[in-house]
Amino acid sequence: MVSTALNPLPLRREPPRPPPPAVAEAEQQWIFSEEELLQAPSIVDGMSPEEERTLRKKGVNFILQVGMMLKLPQTTLSTAAVFFNRYLMRNSLKSRPSYKPLHHYQVAATALFLATKVEENCRKMKELVVACVRVALKDPNKLVDEQTKDFWKWRDTILYSEDVLLESLCFDLSVEPPYKTMYDMLKYYGVEHNKRLRNAAWAFLSDSCLTQLCLLFTSHTIAAASLYAGARMVDIELPDEDGKPWWEIQHVKLRDIRRACNIMADIYEQTPNKDGESSVYVGLRSPEDAIDFDTPGSQEPSQPPANGDRGEEVVSEEGELDG
């Protein structure tokens, strides 16, 4: 298949600027290595890494479902997922003598409550509580009001846990959702109206919320990885500028981009889609070092990944909030 190269940039644009040093430094405090993720408090307390990752995924699933009920924008849900994952790098979900942890649904609900305020997409407390109860019990039509026990239990839990979450985050609420950065990159290359490319990059970002990618890479790198993945999925070349490849222009390392894509491939490799085919992200796997023919922006035609639907469906875990 012949690669579709983008037209050269018609006008000289102001080159993208790197993230402000203060923002980059603050975000770097929450970036961990893969080895450090295996030393998360829950794992140190005896929980298996697989179980810990499963609980993280269930917590983010909870955030996404409640967010959809409340019609919250994806940027708010992404911020809530970041808060949730950062909290679990400071606190354990496994009980031990004299320590009773918060349930992962409690943490998720509180992270979403905090994110709605940070992103200025507030919802009434009653609306949030009703949505949380319905998602937790897997009953979208359940009657929940001020007369029910569940309402007050969830309301008090969220209000109490907000202080716990804020302390764990050290009141560091500055989160740069990668969606805007990704869209700015699309606009820079004049492809923001390419629906296939835009949707592929957006899908990558949405699926990454269910992973620990926000703890491994900065939001700027994740945005660039989504553009890289989208360009490969739709077989598009991104143009060089002044002899530099597009990732250098965007102040991102190709190695980090490929690592992010390979991690997505590893995570979704064991999650076939509804048709039983491999996840589309498996086709993004590539060596982290050196530029090869699969790199969008190189001069050789790139190979499209295997066909398949993206990710897995968001599903709720049955059960009720403990405590």
Residues 164 and 59 in one domain: yes
Residues 118 and 191 in one domain: no
Establish if 314 belongs to a structural domain.
no
Closest CA to 64 of 209, 211, 226, 201: 209
Percent of the chain surpassing pLDDT 70: 79
- Cα distance between the two ends of the chain: 58
Establish if 238 belongs to a structural domain.
yes
**10-24, 154-168, 308-322: least confident range:** 308-322
Q: Could you give the number of structural domains in the chain?
A: 2
Task: Please identify, among 168, 193, 226, the residue that sits at the C-terminal boundary of a domain.
Answer: 168
DSSP states along 76-135? HHHHHHHHHHHHTTTS-SS-BTTB-PPPHHHHHHHHHHHHHHHTT----HHHHHHHHHHH
On the 0-12 / 13-18 / 19+ scale of CB atoms within 10 A, 162 is: middle
**134-143, 160-169, 257-266: least confident range:** 134-143
Residues 164 and 180 in one domain: no
Closest CA to 218 of 17, 18, 31: 31
**Average pLDDT estimate for 93-97:** 87
**pLDDT single digits (tens) 57-91:** 999 999 999 999 999 999 999 999 999 999 999 99
Q: Is 179 helix (H, G, I), strand (E, B) or coil?
A: helix
Establish if 307 belongs to a structural domain.
no
Residues 158 and 182 in one domain: no
Contact by Cβ (8 Å): 185, 228: no
For 272, other C-beta atoms within 10 Å of its C-beta total 15
pLDDT at 281: 66
Which residue type occupies 131? A
Mean pLDDT, the chain, whole residue set: 81
Task: Report the chain's C-alpha Rg in angstroms.
Answer: 21
Establish if 35 belongs to a structural domain.
yes
CA angle 72, 115, 180 (to 5 degrees): 70
The pLDDT-based confidence of 311 (bands split at 50, 70, 90) is very low
Residues 152 and 120 in one domain: yes
Task: Please identify, among 108, 142, 168, the residue that sits at the C-terminal boundary of a domain.
Answer: 168
Residues 123 and 95 in one domain: yes
Closest CA to 82 of 202, 175, 179, 180: 175
pLDDT at 4: 52
Residues 163 and 229 in one domain: no
CA distances from 13 to 27, 46, 189, 237, 248 (A): 28, 53, 10, 19, 15
pLDDT at 297: 54
pTM for this model (two decimals) = 0.80
**pLDDT single digits (tens) 167-192:** 999 898 888 889 999 999 999 888 88
Task: Please identify, among 129, 148, 168, the residue that sits at the C-terminal boundary of a domain.
Answer: 168
Establish if 296 belongs to a structural domain.
no
Residues 36 and 160 in one domain: yes
**pLDDT single digits (tens) 209-244:** 888 999 999 999 999 999 998 888 888 888 888 888
Residues 55 and 143 in one domain: yes
Residues 85 and 57 in one domain: yes
pLDDT at 273: 59
Residues 161 and 182 in one domain: no
Residue 121 belongs to domain spanning? 31-168
Residue 51 sits in a domain whose CATH number is 1.10.472.10
Residues 35 and 164 in one domain: yes
CA separation for the pair 151, 169 (Å, rounded)? 27
Maximum average pLDDT range among 90-104, 213-227, 273-287: 213-227
**Average pLDDT estimate for 189-215:** 90
Establish if 119 belongs to a structural domain.
yes
134, pLDDT greater than 80 = yes
Closest CA to 268 of 196, 213, 223, 198: 213
285, pLDDT greater than 70 = no
16, pLDDT greater than 90 = no
